[in-house]
Chain A
Amino acid sequence: METVTLTIDGMEVRTQKGASILEAALARGIYIPHLCHHPDLGPFGACRLCLVDVNGRMLLACYTPVAEGMKVSTETGALASIRKMTMMLLLNDHPSDCTVCSKDSKCDLQKVSAHLGITKADLAILRPARRENPVDTSNPFFDRDLAKCILCGICVRTCDEIQGAGAIDFGFRGSKTTIATLWDRPLAESNCESCGECLVRCPVGALVPKGAKEPSREVRTTCPYCGVGCQFFLGMRGNEVVSSRGYRGSPVNHGELCAKGRFGHSFVNHKSRITKPLIRKDGKLVKTSWEEALTHVATRLAGYKGDAFAALCSAKCTNEDNYVIQKLARAVMGTNNIDHCARLCHAPSVAGLAQSFGSGAMTNSIEDLLETKCFLAIGTNTTSAHPVIGLRIRKAVRNGAKLIVANPREIELCRISDMFLRQRPGTDVALLSGLARIILDEGLEDREFIAQRTENFDEFRKSLEAFDTATVERITGVPAEELRHAARMYATVKPAALLYSMGITQHSHGTDNVLACGNLAMLTGNLGKPGAGVNPLRGQNNVQGSCDMGGLPNVFPGYQRVDSAEARLKFEKAWGVALPSKPGLTLTEIFDGAINKAIKAVYLVGENPVLSDPDAHHVEKGIKSLEFLVVQDLFLTETAEMADVVLPATSFAEKDGTFTNTERRVQRVRRAIEPLGRPDWLVTCQIAKAMGAKGFDFQDPAGIMAEVASLAPQYGGVTYDRLEGPAGLQWPCPSKDHPGTPILHTAKFNTPSGKGKFVPLGYIPPKELPDDEYPFLLTTGRSLYHFHTGTMTRKSDGLNVLHPREFLEIGPEDAGRLGISDGERIVVSSRRGKVEATAKVTAASPPGVVFMTFHFAESRTNLLTSPHLDPVAKIPEAKVCAVKVEKA
């Protein structure tokens, strides 16, 4: 790092080259008054307070880079009088109701005023300013009091530079200048994403959280929503969660949070939490004691040992919770019938990438994306489903990276993309193989990488014969020229990162889609390097971890196959019991099994399949066919209402443990408040012990992790002590002295041969395509403001304001033809069911395609979706089914 030495007020200061005078001074502990500077943002030069004297010239400290030998004076008579007058003018335009302002004592304006010694008498000589701005209370989480705004522009730059939303800017001129949305509408009517990043940076009381409660204490923990795994300080008053504040030290989110992570934690203390076990008596769920409930469960489960039992663990629960659940299933109940919602999201990633690379996880790190020069984002609406990763993409693009979006819908990222390949849903293999074919035809492949690091290339090359550009254009609907342009961009702008999510996986050929992603990345050598990779973005906070923990029917913790004698022996030895060798049933098969009476009892933790799983009628029928259902959850969910016993679970705020995020980073979850139920791991252990099982005497989650580390090689070096640092640990971390692995496959792949494997593929259309009766193709996804079945987010009044009900997104032409107008109630039906929703007419939906989320219990989208399964990963085709749309 090149350094520069300068003097500030006669003191020698050594600093990094490229730093501003202001940064150098502040780092040295020399305060120069400033209001518009923020360390996260570029310089702005608006407040004019940081003017300093540099070799006799007056320059802005925030804008002027340091130079060798520079002589800076921060105080001269001239500077003092300009600063004082500037500050007087600013204060003259600011209300003086400090004692009832929630920013009192944390306000930068107060700080600078005090520093400059501005007095009441100083202000008395000025004509009072007359600024009138009503408070904008439209956002459910924070208020904008523009009368207090000092126009430092920090919020505007945050919205632009950090969030990339561009919802606000300076509006009007002169003394009428204000911060405004487009057309100066209330914030709620703008494209504000309610991330609150502006709120945390506002130096005065212009942006304040609604009903602001300062926490009396804070605990650093991991966000319970998506798979990004943002770190924040959860703030409490007594036993109530009142705030969350991003942890700037985290390499995952650098302090940034989305609307859910910042404002979506009111579910923790929600009045509808279950705090007492419920047991079904005379057809009704009634409150009971823990003792009775646990004894009842243990007694009943004892009758279903073997393959009549199935456990559904939870991607929302900690690694430790999941570990004991699968251990209960395998070691106590004697079955591999364990699965969870990963089946519905990334089972094809686990299966496909294991085949290609030997490891079914994101190859690179989130922080790595800033080094990416070209993104191919296919089947991921990143800014909605993984908002903070979306920020990394926006930032990289801002810094010059290329972005290719492949999606049937015109998602938010298209605003900043270089190319938008609007493919027909379910045509990913054709699209990706078509790109590969062009790359090969034009000689843009990475021959060295192919020769040295991969195998099976010739078969793969042969398979591409079917994917000439004309054919691919016909299948995907993407014009040939765009295909060629995109192929060249992806192949030549390096490093290129391929990002995908459920638009790739939730198909009847999801595993093929994943393999096609792997093929394309290997073809261009975009693996094992910073900024490159194949990056499945995982949906749930701990879906990576619940898979790692063996919450899958075919593998023990650490992806050790249950049908491997060696692995089985290892676990039998460790657990002291004989273990079943037959892989168990998948989630989808478990409900089939229930219907045909093969499965009789289910222990279901933290899932709500009645809403979350495709073809919900079928799922419901399966659940009703069970003889015994235990549900462990925070709330009486739609699924829990059908249970025989409901056990109160605990949220992330009430227990210790770990989550493993999408980039394989194991991070701590810390108990912040008194549990309202019992920690899930403890409940499971108590059931096991009540059944007389051994090996469940864990004292705490750290003890469970110690057992995990002894059995799962990837977690071999993971201990709670090591997780105290700001970054957690990225697996594989095989030993105590291993630093973790930010990038996979740098030297060799995890396959038996150590080489990446090209897999020849053919194009298979989706199983259920529109026809005369059901003329629309329904595709599903997520909203920025809700999560999964809304169990948590729909407990937040604010999030419900931002996204109150289910919308069916339909293109203007289709809507016009059906006579449906925006906001009208409509009925959507498929071969399997019908639901009501509100029409949202938007050009984001291409002709013939409609879109819904699955967050709303009152509009059960999954009653419509298709049950067709991927033959390998057994994931249902949630992204494509045929529906019809009618007025309600």
Chain B
Amino acid sequence: MTGPGKLALHVCQGTGCVSSKSPEIQAALEREIAARGISGRAGVKLTGCHGFCQRGPIVIVEPEGIFYSEVKPEDAPEIVRSHIVEGKPVERLFYKDPASGNAVPFYRDITFYAKQQRVVLRNCGHINPEIIDDYIAAGGYRAERKALLEMEPEQVIAEVKRSGLRGRGGAGFPTGQKWEFCRQAPGRQKYLICNADEGDPGAFMDRSVLEADPHSVIEGMVIASYAIGATEGYVYVRAEYPLAVQRVGIALRQATERGFVGKNILGSGHGLELHVKEGAGAFVCGEETALMMSIEGRRGMPRPRPPFPAQSGLWGKPTIINNVKSLATVPVIIDRGADWFASTGTEKSKGTVVFALTGLMANCGLVEVPLGMTLRETIFTIGGGLLGGRKFKAVQTGGPSGGCIPASLLDLPVDYDSLNAAGTIMGSGGMVVMDDRTCMVDIARYFINFTAQESCGKCVPCRQGTRQMLDILVDLTQGRGRPGDIELLQEIGESVKAGSLCGLGQTAPNPVLSTIRYFRDEYEAHINEKRCPALACRPLLSYRIDPEKCAACGLCKRACPSEAIAGQKKKPHVIDPAKCIKCGSCFDACPKKFGAVVVSSGETGAQGVA
């Protein structure tokens, strides 16, 4: 469909854009082009995620690089008529820079993209993931050919070791070293598993790669299997990712047909039989030993390590489990060389890292940056700063088991070791930005609630400890905090970290411990004053109406669901605290020009501006 001199309309078909009707946009564009009989001048192409999901659905017109955001199916005729037929790009669909308010027509000029360095996401948004030739045209399977036909497995391992690639699942163990353990482990039968059981709320890095560039993962697996000597492999992907499952399936079929996977690959003598195994959605199944239990058909529950999977893994055989992004990086390392890869990043953290940037920011989405970029640059330059000019309060990295980092540490470089030292983790790459309206006690409660629910229940510290921390935090956010609770939380948290069986429990207390570390005053306010400084913990709030400001319009009274507001025409209204359920409806209902509803928290009546 694409050819020289011809425009290609790349329509994003990642899960985000699909859910906001991008297939209809694609169909509408195709219809429009066909109706106008201009298929010689323009074609429509399905691609995976471009990463700028907040602005989806996205259509990019290549080779010009015109970037349309928040496109609707009904925009299709205008795009075709104006842009393709008349050569006038549709300005109203351009991205507008939140800071300047200026329209930015070109993809490359958008700050969200400008500062990124896309290695893992190299093909995402550019190729059609359902057509293998698109991948091959982009240099795909070149590395596989090189590795299998020109390199010994040991050389492949050496190259990956030299690249400094560390596991992108979050723990950051050197990938080449892990492969070497497995290669050296005795036994003829070895397994390779791609861990695509991405479970962090708000994280979609792995999903996007699988949806947008599945062949890069398959190619990485073939190279890895050759390196470690595995002849059978699994892509363990959660069933909640139907589009990823579908695209991996298509890619696998095509790659098998072309001889890139299967028996005697490219005549090298190496074979790899690949299976796609759908996980049932337990968060813990992202933990490698639990994941293997799940593949074996048992309940996904971790077992202690050692023995590590590289020695005794799936069905007791040496097994390598790599994250999607690690595997998608491998072809680039082989193709462009370890030196090229290692030229990016820091001394101990080489290459790039993919984040799912979410929270209260101007630009949310999937970003890939060199390791070592500061949080500040990531959040304020790429992310475009906070929405509505709110004040930055904290950023949480590493998913629900990560810690919260305060503004004072914004210049921290993002790499494995710096994050660990700051009490958080790289994790699989979630990054949640919070503003000053976020209560850090409540956020700790929110994350521990997630891990407490997702704990597999096997080991005592994780099962009971996360639950106990949750109970205490619930008490805190509801005004039932007791003196000593901070110390108790720390004591339990440290025991759970040190005593838990797997990574889930060992990191679950991070949100609690890091918020105590950086925002202890908020905990103290909750316990000692029953006050929520961020005015977020509803049970700790009180609402009253300032009689001076009340215009007696009656809007608050009508909005109150619990009939807690009394008042008549021309008389200031009054909230009965006994009936008030602190829902905030009156506050929302009170016209801004009056601003008569005052919300406050704490026995001292300290007021906040909500």
A47 contacts B460, C-beta separation under 8 Å: yes
The chain B residue sitting closest to A172, CB to CB, is: B457
With both chains docked as a complex, state the minimum distance between the C-beta of B358 and any C-beta of chain A, in angstroms: 24
Between-chain CB contacts (< 8 Å), 15 pairs: A48-B461, A48-B499, A60-B304, A81-B491, A81-B494, A82-B499, A85-B465, A85-B499, A89-B492, A127-B471, A127-B475, A129-B464, A153-B458, A170-B301, A175-B463
B453 and chain A: residue at smallest CB distance: A174
Say yes or no: A170 contacts B457, CB within 8 Å: yes
Q: A48-B500, A86-B495 are in contact. Are A174 and B452 (CB under 8 A)?
A: yes
Within the complex, which residue of B457, B461, B465 is in contact with A177, where a contact is CB–CB below 8 Å? B457
Q: Does any Cβ of B come within 8 Å of A286's Cβ?
A: no
B446-486 residues with Cβ-Cβ distance < 8 A to A are 452-461, 463-468, 471-472, 475, 484
Q: Does B103 contact A (CB under 8 A)?
A: no
B278 to A: closest C-beta gap in Å:
19
Name the one of B304, B467, B491 contacting A45, with C-beta atoms under 8 angstroms: B304
The CA of A63 and the CA of B312, in the complex, are separated in Å by 14
Is A90 part of the binding interface, using a Cβ–Cβ cutoff of 8 Å? yes
Classify the secondary structure of A's interface with B: loop
Q: Within A67-84, which residues are at the interface with B (CB < 8 Å)?
A: 78, 81-82
Q: Complex formed: what's the CA distance from A82 to B499 in Å? A: 6
Q: How far is the CA of A45 from the CA of B484 in the complex (A)?
A: 31
Among B284, B461, B475, which residue has its beta carbon within 8 angstroms of that of A89?
B461
Asked if residues A86 and B499 are in contact (CB atoms below 8 Å), the reply is yes
Please tell me if the beta carbons of B464 and A93 are within 8 angstroms of each other in the complex: yes
Q: Name the one of B282, B306, B460, B471 contacting A173, with C-beta atoms under 8 angstroms.
A: B282
User: Which among B306, B457, B472, B475 has the highest number of chain A CB atoms within 10 Å?
Assistant: B457
Asked if B303 is at the interface of the complex by the 8 Å CB criterion, the answer is yes
Alpha-carbon gap, A93 to B304, bound state (A): 24
Interface residues in chain A, defined as those with a beta carbon under 8 Å from any beta carbon in chain B: 43-49, 51, 58, 60, 63-64, 78, 81-82, 85-86, 89-90, 92-93, 125-127, 129, 150-151, 153, 169-170, 172-177
Kindly list chain B residues whose C-beta atoms are within 8 Å of the C-beta of A78: 498
Q: Is the CB of B472 within 8 A of A45?
A: no
> Would you call B88 an interface residue if the criterion is a C-beta within 8 Å of the partner chain's C-beta atoms?
no
A126 to B488, CA, bound (A): 8
Bound Cα distance A127, B466 (Å):
12
B454 touching A173, Cβ below 8 Å: yes
User: Contacts A46-B458, A47-B460, A48-B461: A92 and B501 contacting too (C-beta < 8 A)?
Assistant: no
Task: Report Cα–Cα, A93/B463, bound state, in Å.
Answer: 11
Question: Do most interface residues of chain B lie in helix, strand or loop, or is the interface mixed?
Answer: helix
Distance between A466 CB and nearest chain B CB, rounded to angstroms: 42
Q: Which residues of B contact A174 (CB under 8 A)?
A: 452-455, 457, 463, 466-467
User: Are A173 and B456 closer than 8 Å at their CB atoms?
Assistant: yes
B452 to chain A, nearest CB (A): 5
Assuming the contacts A127-B471, A127-B475, A177-B457, asked whether A45 and B464 have C-beta atoms less than 8 A apart, the reply is no
Q: A125 to B467: give the CA distance in the assembly, Å.
A: 14
Check B558 for interface membership: any CB of A closer than 8 A. Answer: no
Taking a contact as CB atoms under 8 Å apart, the answer to whether A47 and B457 are in contact is no
Q: Is the CB of A46 within 8 A of B460?
A: yes
6 further A-B pairs in the complex, CB-CB below 8 A; given A127-B472, A175-B455, A177-B458: A60-B304, A86-B460, A89-B468, A151-B460, A173-B282, A177-B456
CA distance A779 to B272 in the complex (A): 48
What is the minimal beta-carbon distance from B584 to any residue of chain A, in angstroms? 28
**Which residues in chain B, 302-324, are within 8 Å of chain A measured between CB atoms?**
303-304, 306
* Distance, CA A51 to CA B499, complexed state (A): 8
Smallest CB-CB separation from A153: which chain B residue? Answer: B458
Whether the pair B501, A45 counts as a contact (CB closer than 8 A) is yes
| Beta-carbon contact of A177 and B467 below 8 Å | no
Do A175 and B452 have beta carbons less than 8 Å apart?
yes
CA A170 – CA B306 in complex, angstroms? 23
Count of inter-chain pairs, beta carbons less than 8 A: 109
In angstroms, how far is the closest chain B Cβ from the Cβ of A131? 10
Q: In the complex the two chains form, is A82's CB within 8 Å of B498's CB?
A: yes
Let me know if B299 is at the binding interface, CB within 8 A. yes
Closest residue of chain A to B493, judged by CB? A85
Closest B residue to A64 by beta carbon equals B306
Taking Cβ atoms with an 8 Å cutoff, the residues of B that contact A are 282, 284, 299, 301, 303-304, 306, 452-461, 463-468, 471-472, 475, 484, 488, 491-492, 494-495, 498-501
Residues of A within 8 A of B304 (CB): 43, 45, 60, 63
Contact of A151 with B499 in the complex, beta carbons under 8 Å: no
Kindly list chain A residues whose C-beta atoms are within 8 Å of the C-beta of B499: 48, 51, 82, 85-86
Residue of B303, B464, B472, B484 touching A175 (CB-CB under 8 A)? B464
How many angstroms between the C-alpha atoms of A175 and B284 in the bound complex? Answer: 14
Task: Give chain B nearest CB distance to A180 CB in angstroms.
Answer: 10
Smallest CB-CB separation from B491: which chain A residue? A85
Q: Quick check: B495 and A45 within 8 Å, CB to CB?
A: no
Q: Which residue of A lies closest to B466 (CB)?
A: A174
B456 touches A126 (CB 8 A): no
Q: For A86, what are the chain B residues with a Cβ–Cβ distance below 8 Å?
A: 460-461, 464-465, 495, 499
Report how far A153 CA is from B456 CA in the complex, Å.
13
CA distance A174 to B469 in the complex (A): 13
Are A175 and B498 in contact, with the CB atoms below 8 A?
Answer: no
Residues of A within 8 A of B465 (CB): 85-86, 89
Find out whether the CB atom of B488 lies under 8 angstroms from the CB atom of A89.
Answer: no
Between A47, A86, A151, A169, the greatest number of chain B beta carbons within 10 A of the residue's beta carbon is seen for A86
- Please state if B457 and A127 are interface contacts (CB–CB under 8 Å): no
Closest-by-CB residue of A relative to B500 is A48
Contact (Cβ within 8 A) B453 A85: no
Question: Is A173 within 8 A of B453, CB to CB?
Answer: yes
- Check A151/B463 contact, CB under 8 A, given A63-B304, A173-B456: yes
In the complex, the answer to whether B463 meets A169 with C-beta atoms within 8 Å is: no
CB distance from B467 to the nearest CB of A (A): 4
Contact B495 A82 (CB under 8 A): yes
Tell me the complex Cα distance, A548–B166, Å.
Answer: 71
Tell me which residues across on chain A come within 8 A of B457, comparing CB atoms: 151, 170, 172-177
CB-CB under 8 A from A44, the residues of chain B are: 303
With the chains together, A829 CA to B174 CA distance in Å?
73
With a cutoff of 8 Å between Cβ atoms, the chain B residues found around residue A93 in the complex are 464
A233 and B124 CA atoms in complex are apart in Å by 70
Chain B residues whose C-beta falls within 8 Å of the C-beta of A153 in the assembled complex? 458
What residues of A have a CB within 8 angstroms of the CB of B282 in the complex?
173
Q: How far, in whole Å, are A86 and B453 apart by their CA atoms in the complex?
A: 19
- Check if B495 sits within 8 Å of A81, measured CB to CB: yes
A170 and B456 CA atoms in complex are apart in Å by 9
Question: How near does chain B come to A41, taking the closest CB pair, in angstroms?
Answer: 13
Q: Which residues of B contact A173 (CB under 8 A)?
A: 282, 284, 453-457
Inter-chain CA distance A43–B312, complex, in Å, is 15
Instruction: Tell me the smallest distance from the CB of B529 to a CB of chain A, in Å.
Output: 21
**B468 cross-chain contacts in A, Cβ below 8 A:** 89, 92, 126-127, 129
From A152, which residue of chain B is reached at the shortest CB distance?
Answer: B460
With both chains docked as a complex, state the minimum distance between the C-beta of B42 and any C-beta of chain A, in angstroms.
51
C-alpha spacing A81/B458, complex, angstroms: 20
**B284 surroundings in chain A (CB, below 8 A):** 173
Ordered nearest first, which 8 A-B pairs have the shortest CB separation? A177-B457, A89-B464, A85-B495, A127-B471, A45-B304, A175-B467, A82-B499, A63-B304
Q: Tell me, rounded to whole Å, the shortest Cβ–Cβ distance linking B13 to chain A.
A: 33
B478: shortest Cβ distance to chain A, in Å?
12
Cβ-defined contact, B484 with A58, below 8 A: no
- Chain B residues near A129 (CB, 8 Å)? 464, 467-468, 471
Residues of chain A with a CB closer than 8 A to B488's CB: 125-126
Q: A81: which B residues are within 8 A, CB to CB?
A: 491, 494-495
Considering the chains assembled together, what is the distance between the CA atoms of A43 and B501 in angstroms?
Answer: 13
Residues of B within 8 A of A63 (CB): 304, 306
Q: Report yes or no: B464 in contact with A92, Cβ–Cβ below 8 A.
A: yes
Minimum distance in angstroms from A811 CB to a CB of chain B? 28
Determine the chain B residues whose CB is within 8 A of the CB of A48 once the complex forms: 459-461, 499-501
Could you tell me the distance between the alpha carbons of A89 and B463 in the complex, rounded to whole angstroms?
9
Task: Return the contact of B303 from the options A45, A58, A89 (Cβ within 8 A).
Answer: A45
Cα distance A172–B299 in the bound complex, in angstroms: 10
Q: Distance (Å) between the CB of A115 and the closest chain B CB?
A: 16
A47 to B500, CA, bound (A): 9
